[in-house]
């Protein structure tokens, strides 16, 4: 049974569908006689984050299609200018050009934490709202925070606290030895600092924490060091194609120490394949989450692209949905009014079991997160459903603020 058949079968069993997607079949509403509202979107389309960037663009295109089918924003079509951010310097240049030359009302996107900071600096200087959809660094919500920068993507502390509950419940922390291969850039450094603090608080021991170049493809030296260290847990602080390559070589070396990580994208699992993917990992969203909204979105995405949405597609889609709602609520695109609205405690449908809202002190979108666990290869039925998903890692009675406790990125102070 293929994924597409599964999705279609699930969809017909549901009624109503997602509130955010509920008007997809409705007639197009007549537009006001004004030009489109133009936003900018920057994300890496090349390099080790390129596969995630491809999903980001798919999510943006689907969001634009859905929003405009529902009448646009205040009766005006939404248009998004999309560019490859490449690296921090290029991202900064392109963000400034989008704002100064193209006159975009806001910018969304990015995956690299370093490029996120570069775009955030331009947004702050020009007074333009920027919604980060992929940069995880706690520092972006801490000492490097910006009044004009908001974060749909979960920060590292949220993944650490969420996945940490799994490791604690599995008795894999206190008195246990950990090996932490870490991406050698802002995201990885930040995540490693958080992992060190988590293990220190809970009695774990680090026996290795190698820094890995973002363009690395050969992990054999690290595999030999892991074999020698004999850890109880191997936890990856890697990103993008690094994770895929590591998982493949981990299997090739026959290593069987429990593996997981404090940051993950489902693209890495799919690229590794069921024969190589293993362990339990944090997930901001995945296509198996069993809510009407998530299943309606997954079906719409699969109908358009022939495959399920990756969590990066969800993040970029969601960011545009949030901006469309915010602009509609304030009746315009004024940056100060947008900031005031997003800081107000307004809630947003995130296709999960409860809505999310932005923390006014850091501009992090507070939301439920999940854990995914690899299926044994013999139980895998197709190339996409190669893991199971938990429900929300927090209980329904636990406040979402629990997930940002003990963040290591410093204190956020917004410039006046």
Residue 224: both structure tokens together = 């030999």
Domain boundaries, the chain: 3-155+289-366, 157-287+369-404
pLDDT of residue 365: 98
Is 411 buried (19+), middle (13-18) or exposed (0-12) by CB count in 10 A? exposed
Q: Would you say the CATH fold of 157-287+369-404 matches that of 3-155+289-366?
A: yes
Please, is 248 exposed, middle or buried when counting C-beta atoms within 10 Å of its C-beta (0-12, 13-18, 19+)? middle
- CB-based contact 129:339 (threshold 8 Å): yes
Residue 16's pLDDT is what?
38
**In b/e form, how buried is each residue of 278-304, taking b as 16+ CB within 10 angstroms?**
bbbbbbbbbbbbebbbbbbbbbbbbee
Q: What integer pLDDT is reported at residue 165 of this predicted model?
A: 86
Joined tokens for residue 225: 């060091």
Predicted pLDDT of residue 263: 86
List residues bridging with 182 in a β-sheet. Answer: 211, 237
Instruction: Give the per-residue pLDDT at 416.
Output: 75
Q: Which two tokens stand for residue 396?
A: 């329904």
The predicted-structure confidence for 68-98, as pLDDT tens digits, reads as follows: 999 999 999 999 999 999 999 999 999 999 9
For the domain covering 3-155+289-366, report its CATH number.
3.40.50.2300
What is the spatial distance between Cα 326 and Cα 333, in angstroms, rounded to a whole number?
A: 9
Which one, of 95, 96, 100, 98, lies nearest residue 79 by Cα? 98
**Dist. CA 95–CA 225, nearest whole Å:** 42
Q: Which parts of the chain have pLDDT scores under 70?
A: 1-33
pLDDT (0 to 100) of residue 186: 86
CATH node for 157-287+369-404: 3.40.50.2300
- pTM, full prediction: 0.89
């Amino acid at each position: 049974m293929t994924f597409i058949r599964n999705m279609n079968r699930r969809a017909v069993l549901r009624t109503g569908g997602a509130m955010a997607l509920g008007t997809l079949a409705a007639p197009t509403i007549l537009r006001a006689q004004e030009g489109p509202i133009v936003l900018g979107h920057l994300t890496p389309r090349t390099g080790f984050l390129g596969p995630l960037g491809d999903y980001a663009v798919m999510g943006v295109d689907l969001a634009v299609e859905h929003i405009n089918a529902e009448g646009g924003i205040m009766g005006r079509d939404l248009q998004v200018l999309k560019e490859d951010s490449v690296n921090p310097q290029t991202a900064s240049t392109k963000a400034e050009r989008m704002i100064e030359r193209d006159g975009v009302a806001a910018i969304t996107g990015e995956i690299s934490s370093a490029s996120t900071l570069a775009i955030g600096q331009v947004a702050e200087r020009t007074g333009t709202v920027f919604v980060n959809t992929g940069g995880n660094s706690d520092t972006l919500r801490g000492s490097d925070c910006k009044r004009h920068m908001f974060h749909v993507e979960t920060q590292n502390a949220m993944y650490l606290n969420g996945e940490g509950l799994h490791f604690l419940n599995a008795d894999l922390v206190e008195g246990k030895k950990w090996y932490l291969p870490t991406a050698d850039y802002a995201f990885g450094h930040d995540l490693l600092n958080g992992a060190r603090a988590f293990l220190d608080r809970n009695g774990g021991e680090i026996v290795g924490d190698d820094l890995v170049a973002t363009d690395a493809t050969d992990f054999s030296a690290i595999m030999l060091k892991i074999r020698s260290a004999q850890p109880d847990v191997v936890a990856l602080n890697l990103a993008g194609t690094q994770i895929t390559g590591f998982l493949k070589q981990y299997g090739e070396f026959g290593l069987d120490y429990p593996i997981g990580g404090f940051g993950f994208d489902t693209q890495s699992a799919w690229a590794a394949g069921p024969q190589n993917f293993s362990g339990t990992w944090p997930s901001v969203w995945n296509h198996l989450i069993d809510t009407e909204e998530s299943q309606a979105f997954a079906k719409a995405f699969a109908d358009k692209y022939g495959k399920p949405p990756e969590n990066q597609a969800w993040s970029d889609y969601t960011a545009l949905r949030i901006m469309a709602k915010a602009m509609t609520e304030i009746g315009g695109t004024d940056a100060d009014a947008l900031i005031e609205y997003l800081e107000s405690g307004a809630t947003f449908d995130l296709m999960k079991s409860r809505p999310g809202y932005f923390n006014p002190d850091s501009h992090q979108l507070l939301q439920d997160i999940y854990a995914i666990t690899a299926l044994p290869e013999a139980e895998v039925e197709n190339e996409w459903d190669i893991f199971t998903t938990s429900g929300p890692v927090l209980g329904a009675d636990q406040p979402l603020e629990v997930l940002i406790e003990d963040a290591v990125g410093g204190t956020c102070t917004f410039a006046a």
